[in-house]
């Protein structure tokens, strides 16, 4: 039954027309960041430096960076974390997920609106998530939306009005597609987000999410993976190469079988064809 509380909650959920869209952003960073390898902190640190650059430098009112890396390597979460930590008055996530079913003109309009809104704020950060999906890129043909591409190219190159500053953080799973589309020269900086490829990072994640009740349990599982050849790097054994997103989902799957967690994890990893 709907009661007064529901109405009050509904009121709380109304977002301002422009401004920080916390809800969207919080959703993509709710699982948090695990500091499983040095690159994680380096990427966050580099992002923070760009945030500072845009905040203080009058010479660079527009800075755009690209986070690229294989599927599930953590690009969206990192971009959103950098954006969220900026403390800028305007923070927006532009994601193809919120444009499902949009026609091309609707997409272009939505993208234009986010940028137009950002120009009203002295300091803005826009996360343009999953560029190739935003561009409707498909390998067959290949095809993509030229009108979305042209709109983005213009917006990525346009200086904000006087006194306004904008940081654009784009993400993409395919650097080569962006290069083919003539997009990649547009970034001030390109940062690679690598997958998990070493056993220590892997162990760090297992420990952090407490898949096993004890350190011994975790070590046991790691020993089992090493037994299967992971981390051996001899050109024949299965190679560890997995995005943190995928790993976290395998972990949750393995958790469902409390009696055989390590076995389940191993078979899932082998099943990935690693």
Footprint of ligand ATP (CB under 6 A): 31-34, 36, 40, 71-78, 130, 171, 173, 243-245, 248
- CB-wise, 123 or 205, nearer to ligand ATP? 205
Residue 16 C-beta: closest distance to ligand ATP, Å: 26
CB 124 within 8 A of CB 166: yes
Q: Give the residue from 242, 249, 247, 252 showing the smallest Cα distance to 196.
A: 242
78 binds, among Mg ion, ligand ATP, none (CB under 5 to 8 A by kind): ligand ATP
34 binds, among Mg ion, ligand ATP, none (CB under 5 to 8 A by kind): ligand ATP
Cross-strand pairs, 189: 65
32 binds, among ligand ATP, Mg ion, none (CB under 5 to 8 A by kind): ligand ATP
Tokens of residue 148, six digits? 């979305």
| Nearest residue relative to ligand ATP (C-beta) | 74
Among positions 65-84, residues that touch Mg ion (CB under 5 A) are: 76
98 binds, among ligand ATP, Mg ion, none (CB under 5 to 8 A by kind): none
| Nearest residue relative to Mg ion (C-beta) | 76
- 3-class secondary-structure state, position 119: coil
Q: What are phi and psi of 120, to 5 degrees?
A: -85, -10
Residue 95 lies near Mg ion (rule: CB under 5 A): no
Contact code string over 31-70 relative to Mg ion, x by CB under 5 A: ----------------------------------------
Q: What are phi and psi of 192, to 5 degrees?
A: -90, 135
Q: Give the residue from 220, 244, 204 showing the smallest Cα distance to 81.
A: 244
What dihedral angle (degrees, nearest 10) is formed by the CA atoms of 220, 208, 204, 82?
160
Residue 157 C-beta: closest distance to Mg ion, Å: 24
Residue 227 C-beta: closest distance to ligand ATP, Å: 26
> CB within 8 A of 133, min separation 6: which ones?
96
Residue 132 C-beta: closest distance to ligand ATP, Å: 10
Residue 73 C-beta: closest distance to ligand ATP, Å: 5
Query: Residue 230: how many CA atoms within 13 Å on its side-chain side?
Result: 27
Tokens of residue 166, six digits? 């904008």
Peptide linkage before 216 cis (omega within 30 of 0): no
Alpha helices in the chain (DSSP H): 4-12, 22-29, 38-56, 75-86, 104-118, 131-134, 146-157, 175-180, 199-208, 215-227, 244-255, 261-271
- CB-wise, 84 or 171, nearer to ligand ATP? 171
77 binds, among ligand ATP, Mg ion, none (CB under 5 to 8 A by kind): ligand ATP
CB 198 within 8 A of CB 189: no
Residue 245 C-beta: closest distance to Mg ion, Å: 8
- CB-wise, 68 or 264, nearer to ligand ATP? 68
- CB-wise, 121 or 171, nearer to ligand ATP? 171
Residue 31 C-beta: closest distance to ligand ATP, Å: 3
Point out which residues bind Mg ion (CB under 5 A).
76
């Amino acid at each position: 039954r709907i009661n007064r509380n529901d109405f009050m909650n509904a009121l709380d959920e109304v977002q301002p027309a422009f401004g920080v869209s916390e809800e969207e952003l919080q959703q993509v960073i709710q699982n948090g960041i695990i500091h499983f390898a040095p690159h994680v902190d380096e990427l966050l640190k580099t992002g923070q430096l760009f945030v500072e650059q845009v905040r203080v430098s009058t010479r660079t009112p527009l800075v755009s960076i690209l986070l690229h890396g294989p599927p599930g390597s953590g690009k969206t979460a990192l971009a959103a974390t950098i954006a969220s930590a900026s403390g800028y008055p305007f923070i927006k996530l532009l994601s193809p997920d919120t444009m499902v079913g949009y026609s091309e003109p609707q997409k272009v309009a939505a993208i234009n609106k986010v940028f137009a809104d950002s120009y009203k704020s002295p300091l803005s950060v826009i996360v343009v998530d999953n560029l190739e999906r935003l561009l409707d890129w498909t390998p067959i043909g290949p095809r993509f939306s030229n009108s979305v591409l042209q709109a983005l190219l213009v917006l990525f190159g346009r200086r904000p009005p006087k006194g306004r500053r904008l940081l654009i953080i784009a993400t993409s799973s395919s650097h080569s597609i962006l290069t083919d589309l003539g997009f990649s020269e547009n970034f001030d900086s390109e940062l690679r987000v690598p997958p998990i490829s070493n056993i220590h990072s892997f162990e760090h994640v297992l420990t952090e999410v407490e898949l096993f009740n004890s350190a011994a349990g975790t070590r046991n599982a790691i020993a089992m993976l090493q037994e299967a050849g992971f981390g051996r790097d001899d050109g024949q054994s299965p190679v560890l190469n997995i995005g943190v997103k995928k790993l976290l989902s395998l972990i949750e799957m393995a958790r469902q079988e409390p009696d055989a967690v390590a076995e389940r994890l191993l078979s899932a990893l082998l099943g990935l064809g690693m």
